[in-house]
C-alpha cells in the first residue's frame, strides 16, 4: 500500500481551508459533510463557499494566508492557485504534524482525499493514490451501483444492538459468528424492504439463540485448496471461508498475496514443510486441527494447490471424521493444471496425448520408486510433483524403459505467479539445463509431446526459456 486508509473524526473540529474558489468549494463541502468546522482563508471567497461556511457556523478570513492560521486546526487543505503559498502551507503543517492535503499535488500531501461512496454510517473510500482519477471515478460508479442506499439503515440497526449482543455473547469468536450468520440470513432483506420493526424482532430472537449456542458451541474445519499461487485463481467459496475462519494453519506453498485475503484478525499458524525438513509432523497437524475445533473455533487448513492431490488432505479428514468433527473440503486448482495453463502447455491434446498422469517424484531412500514401464508411454503427458531433486534419475529411468531421449520436458518454477519461469529441454538435457538456470522449488515438471506447443501457445510471458538462452 502506498497510503494507509484512515477514517478521521473531525466532527466539531476546526479545519483550515486555504482558498476561496471552485476547487476549495468542493473540498469544503466534503469537510462540512463530515462535520468539520470550516475556517476559510482567501483574498476572495466565492458566493457558494461563503454560503456553505455561514450556514454551518464556520469562519471566513478574506485575506492572504498567515502562519498563525494553522493554530488550533485539526487538519489543513490548501486549494489556492498560488504554488508558493501551497508549498508554504504544506511545509508549515508538516512541521506541526498536522495532516495536510494540497489539491492535485500529492508530493505536498500527508494525506489524500479518496473518492467516497456514502451510505452513512457505511462509507466506502476508493483511491488510486492519485495515479488515475478517471479509474477512481469508474470504480466509484461501479460500487455506487452495487451497494443499495439501505445499507446505511442496516448498519445503523446493527449499531443499536452492538452493546446488547456483546453482553449476551461474551466470546469474541462466537460473537463474530453470530453477526456473520445474521447478515447471511433474511435480516438485510427485511431492512431493504422497509420492514425494520420486523427486522428488530428477528434480531432479538436470533440473539437469544446465539446466547444459547455459546454454551454448546461446536467448531468446524475448512480444508481449502489455495491454488498454485495466483490469488485470482481462488474459488469464491475458498474466499468466503478464508474470511470466516478464526484460526488458519497454512503451508509453505501458500503465497503472501493469498494469505493477505484471510480475515485480518484471524490467528495464523505456519505448518509448512519442505524437503527433508518437517518442523511440524503431519500427525501433529492433525491433532492441532482437532484441538482447535474442539475449542469451538472455525479452523481453516489452507493448502497450496488442491488438498487431495499430494496434499495429505485425506489423512487430515480421516482424523476429523473419526472424532465427529464437522469439516468442509474446498478443492483448489492443482499446480499441474494452473502451471501448465500459464506456461501455454495443454495437458491433453488429441494429436499428442490422450491421457495425463500426476505422479510424485519425492525421493524415498534416495530413489524415485515408480512404475516406469507404464510411465514411459509416448501417448500421454506426465506431470511430476516434487521431482526436481530426483530429475536426473527420472530422466534416466524413462529413457531406459523406452521413452525417446528427445521427448520434450518443461520445468515450471513458481508457476502462475509474477516470478514464474519456464525452462524447456528434453530428457537428455533438462537436468543440466535446470542446474545451469539455478532452478529452485517449488516446481512442476511436465513431460510429453504437448510441451512442444509451449512456444506457440504461451501467453503468460514472464518466463525465461533456457532453450533460447
Positions marked active-site: 251, 273
CB 70 within 8 A of CB 76: yes
Q: What share of the chain is helix, strand, coil (3-state, %, to 5)?
A: 40, 20, 40
Q: Is the link from the previous residue into 121 a cis peptide, with omega within 30 of 0? A: yes
SS3 304: coil
Q: Is the link from the previous residue into 442 a cis peptide, with omega within 30 of 0? A: yes
| Cα within 13 Å of Cα(377), Cβ side | 12
CB 101 within 8 A of CB 6: no
Residue 313's H or E segment, with its range, is helix 313-322
Please give the grid coordinates belonging to residue 77.
487543505
* DSSP, res 270: E
- Other CB atoms within a 10 A radius of the CB of residue 182 amount to 19
> Rounded to 5 degrees, what angle do the CA atoms 163, 166, 171 make?
170
Residue 30's H or E segment, with its range, is helix 22-33
CB 230 within 8 A of CB 252: no
> Rounded to 5 degrees, what angle do the CA atoms 326, 332, 336 make?
140
Instruction: Tell me the Cα Rg of the chain.
Output: 30
Q: Which residue has the cell 501417448?
A: 379
Please give the grid coordinates belonging to residue 339.
502451471
Q: Which residue has the cell 471567497?
A: 45
**176-to-205, 216, 221, 328 alpha-carbon distances in Å:** 17, 16, 16, 19
Amino acid at each position: 500500500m502506498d497510503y494507509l486508509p484512515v477514517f478521521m473524526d473531525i466532527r466539531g473540529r476546526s479545519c483550515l481551508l486555504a482558498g476561496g474558489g471552485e476547487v476549495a468549494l468542493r473540498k469544503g463541502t466534503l469537510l462540512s459533510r463530515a462535520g468539520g468546522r470550516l475556517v476559510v482563508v482567501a483574498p476572495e471567497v466565492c458566493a457558494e463557499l461563503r454560503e456553505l461556511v455561514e450556514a454551518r457556523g464556520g469562519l471566513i478570513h478574506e485575506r492572504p494566508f498567515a502562519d498563525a492560521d494553522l493554530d488550533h486546526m485539526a487538519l489543513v487543505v490548501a486549494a489556492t492557485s498560488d504554488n508558493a503559498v501551497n508549498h508554504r502551507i504544506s511545509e508549515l503543517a508538516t512541521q506541526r504534524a498536522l495532516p495536510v492535503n494540497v489539491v492535485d499535488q500529492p508530493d505536498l500531501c500527508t494525506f489524500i482525499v479518496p473518492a467516497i461512496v456514502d451510505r452513512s454510517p457505511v462509507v466506502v473510500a476508493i483511491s488510486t493514490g492519485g495515479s488515475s482519477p478517471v479509474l477512481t471515478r469508474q470504480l466509484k460508479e461501479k460500487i455506487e451501483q452495487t451497494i443499495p442506499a439501505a445499507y446505511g439503515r442496516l448498519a445503523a440497526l446493527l449499531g443499536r444492538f452492538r452493546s446488547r449482543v456483546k453482553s449476551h455473547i461474551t466470546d469474541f469468536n462466537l460473537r463474530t459468528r453470530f453477526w456473520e450468520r445474521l447478515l447471511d440470513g433474511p435480516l438485510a432483506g427485511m431492512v431493504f424492504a422497509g420492514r425494520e420493526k420486523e427486522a428488530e424482532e428477528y434480531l432479538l430472537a436470533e440473539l437469544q439463540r446465539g446466547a444459547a449456542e455459546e454454551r454448546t458451541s461446536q467448531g468446524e474445519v475448512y480444508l481449502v485448496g489455495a491454488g498454485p499461487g495466483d490469488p485470482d485463481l481462488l474459488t469464491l467459496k475458498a474466499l468466503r471461508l478464508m474470511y470466516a475462519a478464526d484460526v488458519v494453519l497454512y503451508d509453505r506453498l501458500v503465497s503472501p498475496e493469498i494469505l493477505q485475503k484471510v480475515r485480518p484478525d484471524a490467528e495464523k499458524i505456519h505448518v509448512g514443510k519442505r524437503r527433508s525438513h518437517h518442523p511440524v509432523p503431519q500427525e501433529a497437524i492433525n491433532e492441532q486441527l482437532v484441538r482447535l475445533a474442539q475449542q469451538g473455533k472455525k479452523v481453516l487448513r489452507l493448502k497450496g494447490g488442491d488438498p487431495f492431490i499430494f496434499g495429505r488432505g485425506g489423512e487430515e479428514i480421516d482424523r476429523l471424521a473419526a472424532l465427529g468433527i464437522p469439516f468442509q473440503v474446498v478443492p483448489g486448482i492443482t499446480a499441474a493444471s494452473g502451471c501448465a495453463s500459464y506456461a501455454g502447455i495443454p495437458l491433453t491434446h488429441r494429436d499428442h496425448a490422450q491421457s495425463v498422469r500426476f505422479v510424485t517424484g519425492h525421493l524415498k531412500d534416495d530413489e524415485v520408486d515408480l512404475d516406469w514401464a507404464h510411465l514411459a508411454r509416448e501417448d500421454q503427458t506426465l506431470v511430476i510433483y516434487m521431482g526436481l531433486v530426483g530429475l536426473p534419475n527420472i530422466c534416466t529411468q524413462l529413457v531406459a524403459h523406452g521413452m525417446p531421449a528427445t521427448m520434450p520436458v518443461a520445468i515450471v518454477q513458481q508457476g502462475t505467479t509474477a516470478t514464474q519461469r519456464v525452462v524447456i529441454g528434453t530428457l537428455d538435457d533438462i537436468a543440466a539445463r535446470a542446474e545451469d538456470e539455478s532452478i529452485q522449488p517449488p516446481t512442476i515438471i511436465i513431460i510429453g509431446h504437448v510441451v512442444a506447443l509451449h512456444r506457440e501457445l504461451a501467453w503468460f510471458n514472464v518466463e525465461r526459456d533456457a532453450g533460447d538462452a
